[in-house]
Amino acid sequence: MDQSLSDSGWRGSQEGWLEAAYDSLLESGIDSVKILPLAKKLNLSRTSFYWFFKDREELLDGLVSRWREKNTGSIVKQSQAYAETLAEAMLNVFDCWLDSRLFDSKFEFAVRSWALQSEDILQEVQEADRTRMDALAGMFKRFGHPEIGADVRARTTYLVQIGYISMQSNESVSLRMKRIPEYIAIYTGETPQQRELDRFFARHGYKPD
Q: What is the pTM of this model?
A: 0.92
Rounded mean pLDDT, 171-198: 96
Task: Evaluate whether residue 173 is within a structural domain.
Answer: yes
Task: Evaluate whether residue 208 is within a structural domain.
Answer: no
Radius of gyration (C-alpha) of the chain in whole angstroms: 20
Task: Please tell me the predicted confidence (pLDDT) of residue 65.
Answer: 98
Provide the pLDDT confidence category of residue 4 given band limits of 50, 70 and 90: very low
Tens-place pLDDT, residues 114-124: 999 999 999 99
Rounded mean pLDDT, 112-139: 99
Q: What is the number of domains present in the chain?
A: 2
41 and 105, same domain (yes or no): no
96 and 1, same domain (yes or no): no
Residue 188 to residue 179: CA distance in whole angstroms: 14
Per-residue burial over 71-84, b if 16 or more Cβ lie within 10 Å, else e, is bbbbbbebbeeebe
26 and 93, same domain (yes or no): no
Task: Evaluate whether residue 169 is within a structural domain.
Answer: yes
101 and 42, same domain (yes or no): no
Average pLDDT score, the chain: 94
Task: Please tell me the predicted confidence (pLDDT) of residue 209.
Answer: 78
Q: How many of the other CB atoms lie within 10 Å of CB of 10?
A: 11
165 and 109, same domain (yes or no): yes
Task: Evaluate whether residue 30 is within a structural domain.
Answer: yes
Per-residue burial over 89-112, b if 16 or more Cβ lie within 10 Å, else e, is bbbbbbbbbbeeebbbbebbbbbb
Task: Please tell me the predicted confidence (pLDDT) of residue 125.
Answer: 99
User: Can you give the residue range of the structural domain that contains 69?
Assistant: 63-203
Provide the pLDDT confidence category of residue 152 given band limits of 50, 70 and 90: very high
198 and 134, same domain (yes or no): yes
Provide the pLDDT confidence category of residue 1 given band limits of 50, 70 and 90: very low
Task: Please tell me the predicted confidence (pLDDT) of residue 9.
Answer: 52
User: At residue 2, does pLDDT exceed 50?
Assistant: no
Provide the pLDDT confidence category of residue 156 given band limits of 50, 70 and 90: very high
Task: Evaluate whether residue 129 is within a structural domain.
Answer: yes
84 and 174, same domain (yes or no): yes
Rounded mean pLDDT, 23-44: 97
183 and 84, same domain (yes or no): yes
29 and 71, same domain (yes or no): no
User: At residue 10, does pLDDT exceed 90?
Assistant: no
Tens-place pLDDT, residues 66-102: 999 999 999 999 999 999 999 999 999 999 999 999 9
Of 14, 12, 68, nearest to 43 (Cα)?
A: 12
Task: Evaluate whether residue 58 is within a structural domain.
Answer: no
CA 105 to chain centre: 6
Residue 77 to residue 57: CA distance in whole angstroms: 29
- The CATH number of the domain holding residue 47 is 1.10.10
Task: Evaluate whether residue 209 is within a structural domain.
Answer: no
